[in-house]
Homo-oligomer: A and B are copies of this chain.
């Protein structure tokens, strides 16, 4: 659901009211703009997405596929995600006895090595695409990662 509003005061109430309407009328989307009076409603008559969810619920009990951004993706102003360009195993350090390349709070430069993704015995060094601070580490050391799987959340500077 998208809800664009300008005035901050009543926005939460409106969101709830809109959410109720959405459910009540089985809509798939409501868009509302106050100043220019812009209203947009959507109701999906198909159900494809719903089915796919159903299939997943029945056939993929635990290992639901994570979202797969195709590249480093900026979602909010200054937040970037570093994603895996390979299928492989994620390592935060160059060896079992070595310190991790980066940690939460580490300030990184574009081109700086963040981690290793091992694929077919090859150690692929993954570099940061931006300057910034690591705010979250999204993959687990020694665990498998898919193509496009987010590894680090970086606040750009």
User: CB within 8 Å of B: which residues of A?
Assistant: 5, 8, 11-12, 14-48
Contact = CB atoms under 8 A, between A and B. Distances in A.
**Number of copies of this chain in the oligomer?**
2
Main secondary structure of the interface of A (DSSP, over half): mixed
Contact of A28 (B5, B8, B32, B42): B42
Nearest to A37: B34
Contacts of A28: 42-45
A16 B17 CA distance: 10
Contacts of A18: 15, 39, 41
B39 A32 contact: yes
Nearest to A29: B42
B25 A23 contact: yes
Contacts of A31: 31, 39-40
